[in-house]
Amino acid sequence: MNKLKIPAVLVLAYLVLPLAVNGNDYVVSLIVAALTIGGIALAWSMLGNLGGMVSFGHAAFFGIGSYASALLTIKAGWPVLVSMLFAGLVAAASSIATMPALRLRGPYFALSILAYAEIFRIIATEWKGLTGGAAGILSIPRLPEIMGIDLGGKIGGYFVVVTLVIAMVGIYAVIRRSPQGLALKAMHDSEDATRVVGVNATMLKALMLVVSAFFAGLMGAFNAHYINFLEPDYAFSGSWTTLAIVAAIFGGYRTLWGPLIGALVVYLVDQLVFKAILPQGHQIILGALLGAMVLFSPTGLTPLIAKLTRLQRKETANAAH
């Protein structure tokens, strides 16, 4: 069953979905946006689930990744894909500046990292010589053409983002199973027991922050080359963080696929259904749904589905007797 899961996801991601929606640019761009948010949600969940840290400031890493990649391609003439990877590293490096905040717990960490996001946004606005200030950057280079596929187009962008997020899930799976990931998981409820066997929790949390910032930055870089323009209020917008948090919590931030599934469901349903019903203030429905989810299945959608299918299977098994 689990062996089939990965090929099934790949066939769905690379064959079924593109064939189903190709030509419908509107739907493709919605899915790309959903997966972009899903990528941030995954990055956020890595820190939240393993590091036990709630961040309100992932827009900072997203924004830094966007700007770094845009500037590397425009000012230094680097190839887009190389710049994107390097932009992830720049975002990761920038997370080191936020590390003093790691000493803080719970809401204090969440708030202080929000302050960092604001600082980075202000820098992007004020450092006009580099970033173009509030006017932003136009004509950011498109994604390239590779083996006859134009990655700069709508469906090309889809292939890039889906590859990025699937790779992220793969890396996340490896981290979760590594001794480092296990130690971080154990820290939640067994801090003393984990520390006396030699685990340096602060260091591991800092590492998770770096990894998480890298991936958020990578998503920012992708987005910059996908939409081809940037301005500080957009790149550092708090909604990159809030949408990702909603998606992660809705989908189940402690699960592997939850954040991605959450992002797809939340964003697509919001844009395609709620927006049609309630053009103004459709986010309210989303808020209410999230509230209901937290009440009825605090661990999110993915664990809920798993529970329901298990129940169903049991019933079918019982019926067979």
Residue 189 found at the interface with other proteins (CB under 8 A): yes
Nearer to other proteins, 185 or 275 (CB): 185
Nearer to other proteins, 185 or 282 (CB): 185
Name the minimum Å distance from CB 40 to other proteins. 25
CA distance 228 to 139: 5
* Beta carbons of 137 and 125 less than 8 angstroms apart: no
Nearer to other proteins, 94 or 194 (CB): 194
Q: Which of 8, 13, 39 is nearest to 226 (CA)?
A: 39
Residue 2 found at the interface with other proteins (CB under 8 A): no
- Number of chain positions touching other proteins (CB under 8 A): 19
Helix, strand or coil, per DSSP, at residue 230 = strand
DSSP one-letter code for 306: H
CA distance 162 to 164: 5
Residue of the chain from 190, 239, 309, 312 that contacts other proteins (CB under 8 A): 190
Residue 196 found at the interface with other proteins (CB under 8 A): yes
DSSP one-letter code for 13: I
* Beta carbons of 65 and 218 less than 8 angstroms apart: yes
* Beta carbons of 241 and 58 less than 8 angstroms apart: yes
Cross-strand partners of 145: 150
Name the minimum Å distance from CB 249 to other proteins. 19
Alpha carbon 59 to chain centroid distance? 10
CB under 8 A: which stretch of 69-77, 145-153, 192-200, 263-271 binds other proteins?
A: 192-200
Name the minimum Å distance from CB 187 to other proteins. 9
Nearer to other proteins, 182 or 285 (CB): 182
CB under 8 A: which stretch of 70-78, 115-123, 194-202, 222-230 binds other proteins?
A: 194-202
Residue 182 found at the interface with other proteins (CB under 8 A): yes
Residue 46 found at the interface with other proteins (CB under 8 A): no
Q: Kindly identify the residues of this chain, within the stretch 93-112, that bind other proteins according to CB under 8 A.
A: none
What is the token pair recorded at 289? 């749904």
Residue 275 found at the interface with other proteins (CB under 8 A): no
Residue 239 found at the interface with other proteins (CB under 8 A): no
DSSP one-letter code for 47: I
CA distance 55 to 3: 34
Site residues, other proteins (CB under 8 A):
179-180, 182-183, 185-186, 188-190, 192-201
